[in-house]
Amino acid sequence: MATVSVRQALKSFGTTRILHGVDVEIADGEFVVLVGPSGCGKSTLLRMIAGLENITGGEIAIDGRVVNNVPPKDRDIAMVFQNYALYPHMTVRQNMAFSMKLAKAPAAIMEEEVQRAAKILGLDALLDRFPRQLSGGQRQRVAMGRAIVRHPQVFLFDEPLSNLDAKLRVQMRSEIRELQQRLATTTIYVTHDQIEAMTMADQIVVMNGGRIEQAGAPLALYDKPANLFVAGFIGSPAMNLLPGMVADGGFRTTGGALLPLPPHAHTNVATYGIRPEHMSLSDDGVEGTIVLVEPTGSETQVTMRMGETVVTGAFRERVQGRPGDKLRVLPDLGLVHLFGPDGARLPS
Amino acid sequence: MSATTAAPVWTKMRPKQGALSRLFDWKPFLAFICLLPAAGLLMTFLTYPLGLGIYLAFTDTTIGRPGIWVGLENFIWLAEDPIFWNAVFYSVFYTGVATIGKFALGLWLALLLNQHLPMKSLLRAIILLPWIVPTVLSAIAFWWIYDPQFSIISYLFIEMGLRETNIDFINTAWPARWSLIAANIWRGIPFVAISLLAGLQTISPSLYEAALLDGASGWQRFRYITFPMLLPILAIVMTFSIIFTFTDFQLVYAITRGGPVNSTHLLATLAFQRGIPGGQLGEGAAIAVSMIPFLVFATLFSYFGLARRKWQQGEGND
Ligand SMILES: Nc1ncnc2c1ncn2[C@@H]1O[C@H](COP(=O)(O)OP(=O)(O)OP(=O)(O)O)[C@@H](O)[C@H]1O
Ligand SMILES: [Mg+2]
């Protein structure tokens, strides 16, 4: 159990700078999810915390101790790799016991720890199998078992679910979360799946291009995205982000649509953001032409065109329209997000 | 051309296959045809000479005189021949020591080359050199290195003031035996090193990272990850290496010709000596045939002792 602080961390591979000064504060027992598009440096940051990559600049501290020059084995960290990295020549039992064996733990303690972890993860029956005899989900659990038996100060997960099918992923997602709450171990979890991030995290850190765009609780990011990147990244379906300017008593998009602004709105708005689920069908709304109707059962997603501007709405009601029909929709003015020319959120 | 006629008619029905085409689709025939060239070559150049050699071992053929079947007589003779037993001893000793040397140094080199070194590919090319030089050439080079008068090693030692006289490399029994083993190790290292390097590169780096986080020291990573994962390849390479070393001929024949006083004869050189220059084809063949049990045993040992691993892919012994 420990806090993790990353302060102004820099990372370069050769002359290419990958991380440009990253700050993350992680409280004891917190579940932090790093999200961001592919190649933004999430794995690199994680591997720096683990000690598998050296730190070009800045500082990483675990439980208050700066670990920049501490070798991985002395950081008391366990990591679950994306490809699990199970030792193929060892059984499940040996895989899980390996760290204890290296630490010369007595056989009885090793067996007890392995049994306990196996019980938690439902691996009891598989202890004598080799990794190649396991399914993807079982391998994933063995990788977690290997981490659990060590009672580390920090768990690191690098996209552990990306090799699993959708259903197993949902199941493992809740298993990991539940386990983390039970063990109350500080956890850093990397994913590029924002649903995983939203459902699992205490704190989400959104990264882009080697920088942190925003860090905060999942719903805080959803409700108050700090900039255009976070606004577009968090939430599914993605927020409508419509460029334009304040004019004609509302917001005139570059595509020609006129959208209502909340009262006392800033005059310097460059982008108008509205989530699809925050639009409603209304007779005094803005008129659009339906391009596509996608019913998902619980709601209906409608893509429509207002002038040249394409807007997506998600409605609880069943929309009966067909492409080409007209539809009137109204953004919920309390939930409109406005961004300035620099992409930053404008205070409302 | 047919543009003026009606649109071409095409039905999904395939045209009926001709007899020849059907014949070639028939698996047994196809397998037979495909195997024929290889089988022919093997029969001509492998099975026939081997069979002939085994046959000769039971005859008293000499050069210029077809022999008659003598049964085990050649072997009975050999069993009482101290030179033969000396060759058996030296073959085993030579193979054993050289294999240990080659694998210790080859593995060490492979591990070294697997690190991030500057000019890695150049180093790898250099390391392959001893292997791509024709054996006889390197044997002649060693012959010079071991020369009683002009040996460069002796020269260096004397220049550095470490010795007064030339080193006697190949003129007494034991120094000659060790010198040949050294030459064989030098020649065999590249094969071992490069093969093991290929094996090392198949080990996923994330296993080492996992082991690093699990707290493994450098030695423990070698002991628990590298070595067990390398074992299957090690076994195959070792099998080949043992066979090549046990049947070695060129190095010994070029450097010492089995001397001094037959002390460095391997079974292969002794067989040649007796059979061709000595003219006793039957006896030479018998010596050659007596290598077979050793080779079979060595192969079985390294193959079954080391190669079978339950965790490996594609083996049904769960
Ligand atoms: N060893 C390396 N040498 C040079 N560049 C590297 C190295 N490792 C990573 N990079 C670069 O660093 C950047 C960040 O890589 P990283 O693996 O951290 O991305 P990521 O956020 O984990 O992406 P993904 O979601 O695809 O896993 C990438 O642009 C990558 O090309
Ligand atoms: Mg990654």
Q: What is the pLDDT of residues A133-148, one digit of tens each?
A: 898 888 988 998 999 8
Q: How confident is the model at residue B318 (pLDDT cuts 50, 70, 90)?
A: very low
8 Å CB contact of B215 and A79: no
Please give the average per-residue pLDDT across B23-27, as a whole number: 86
Closest CA to A275 of A226, A224, A326: A224
Strands A309-315 and A300-306: antiparallel
Q: How many whole angstroms from its chain centre is CA A81?
A: 17
Contact criterion met (CB below 8 Å) for B78 and B290: yes
Indicate whether B152 belongs to any domain. yes
| Tokens found for residue B313 | 């892919």
Q: What CATH number is given to the structural domain containing B268? A: 1.10.3720.10
CA of A190, closest atom in ligand 1: 22
Tokens of A314: 């998600």
| Residues with a beta carbon under 5 angstroms from ion ligand 2 | A 43
Average pLDDT over residues B216-233: 90
Q: Is there a contact between B213 and A88 if contact means CB atoms under 8 Å apart?
A: no
Q: Which of A265-269, B51-55, B91-95 has the lowest mean pLDDT?
A: A265-269
| Contacts of A113 by beta carbon, 8 Å cutoff, 6+ apart | A96, A97, A100, A105, A149
Tell me the three state secondary structure of residue A251: strand
Written as six digits, the tokens of B283 are 């006896």
Contacts of B7 (CB under 8 A, 6+ apart): none
Q: What is the pLDDT of residue B314?
A: 45
Contact indicator for A69, A60 with CB cutoff of 8 Å: no
Residue B242 pLDDT greater than 70, yes or no: yes
Residue B60 lies in a domain: no
Distance CA A66, CA A4 (A): 10
CATH number 1.10.10.10 given to A4-233: no
Token readout for B269 is 């050189």
Residue A348's pLDDT band (cuts 50, 70, 90): confident
In the predicted model, what is the mean pLDDT of chain B?
Answer: 86
Bridge partners, A250 (sequence order):
A247
Beta bridge partners of A252: A245, A258
Per-residue confidence (pLDDT) for residue B11, from 0 to 100: 76
CATH architecture for residues A240-339: Beta Barrel (2.40)
Confirm whether B64 is domain-assigned.
no
Residues of chain A with Cβ-Cβ distance to B204 below 8 Å are: 83, 85
CB A225 within 8 A of CB A218: no
Q: Specify whether the CB–CB gap between A187 and A203 falls below 8 A.
A: no
pLDDT beyond 90 at A4: yes
Predicted confidence at residue A317, as pLDDT, reads 87
pLDDT interval class at B6 (50, 70, 90)? low
pLDDT grade for B200, boundaries at 50, 70 and 90: very high
Q: Render A60-114 in DSSP notation, one character per residue.
A: EEETTEE-TTS-GGGS-EEEE-TT----TTS-HHHHHHHHHHHTT--HHHHHHHH
In a domain, B298, yes or no: yes
Band (pLDDT 50/70/90 cuts) for residue B309 is: low
Whole-number mean pLDDT of chain A? 90
Residue B66 reports pLDDT greater than 90: no
pLDDT value of position B3: 53
Per-domain residue ranges of chain A: 4-233, 240-339
Does B10 have pLDDT greater than 80?
no
Burial class (CB in 10 A: 0-12, 13-18, 19+), B3: exposed
Q: Is the Cβ atom of A38 under 6 angstroms away from ligand 1?
A: yes
ipTM associated with this complex: 0.82
Task: Give percent of chain A with pLDDT exceeding 90.
Answer: 60
Provide the pLDDT for residue A228: 94
Query: B207–A132: do the CB atoms touch at under 8 Å?
Result: no
Cα–Cα distance for residue pair A228/A338, rounded to 1 Å: 9
Q: Is the separation of the CB atoms in A109 and A100 below 8 Å?
A: yes
Percent of chain A with pLDDT over 70: 100
Q: Among A180-194, A325-339, B1-15, B56-70, which is the least confidently predicted range?
A: B1-15
pLDDT tens across B81-100, in order? 899 999 999 999 999 999 99
For residue B244, is pLDDT > 60? yes
Report d(CA B269, CA B253) in Å as an integer.
6
* Cβ distance of A89 and B318 shorter than 8 Å: no
Spell out the residues 6+ positions from residue A319 whose beta carbon is closer than 8 angstroms to its own: A281, A290, A293, A295, A300, A302, A327
Distance CA B298, CA B306 (A): 12
Residues 6+ apart with CB under 8 A from A27: A3, A186
Q: From the alpha carbon of A40, which atom of ligand 1 is closest?
A: 21
The predicted structure's pLDDT at residue B310: 61
Q: What is residue A286's three-state secondary structure?
A: strand
CB of A133 less than 8 A from some CB of B: yes
B298, B239 Cβ separation under 8 angstroms: yes
B78-117 burial, b if ≥16 CB within 10 A, otherwise e?
beeeebbebbbebbeebbebbbebbbebbbebbbebbeee
Lowest mean pLDDT across A43-57, A72-86, A210-224, B107-121: B107-121
Q: Residues 78..97 of A with a Cβ closer than 8 Å to B: which?
A: 78-79, 81, 83, 85-90
- Please report the pLDDT score of residue A255 as a whole number: 86
Q: How far apart are CA B174 and CA B161, in angstroms?
A: 25
**Span A81-88, mean pLDDT?**
90
**A77 CA to middle of ligand 2, Å?**
18
Which residue type occupies A112? E
| Atom 28 of ligand 1: nearest residue by CA position | A39
Q: Report the side by side order of strands in the sheet with A154-158.
A: A77-80, A154-158, A186-191, A31-35, A203-208, A211-216
pLDDT of residue B161: 81
State pLDDT tens for residues B270-282.
Answer: 999 988 888 888 8
A191 lines ligand 1 (CB under 6 A): no
- Does residue B32 sit within a domain? no
How many domains, chain B? 1
Residue B21 lies in a domain: no
The first and second tokens of residue B72, run together, are 């085990």
Residue B125 pLDDT greater than 70, yes or no: yes
pLDDT band, residue A274 (cuts 50/70/90): very high
- Residue B94 sits at the vertex; the CA angle it makes with B88 and B96, to the nearest 5 degrees, is 100
Residue A82: pLDDT band with limits 50, 70, 90: confident
Q: Are A345 and A225 in contact (CB under 8 A)?
A: yes
Span from the CA of A210 to the centroid of ligand 1 (angstroms): 10
Whole domain around residue B119: which residue ranges?
A: 83-312
Please report the pLDDT score of residue B1 as a whole number. Answer: 47
Q: Do B213 and A72 touch (CB under 8 A)?
A: yes
For residues B59-63, give the mean pLDDT. Answer: 86
Res. B312: pLDDT tops 80: no
Give me A118's structure tokens: 């196996």
pLDDT at B316: 42
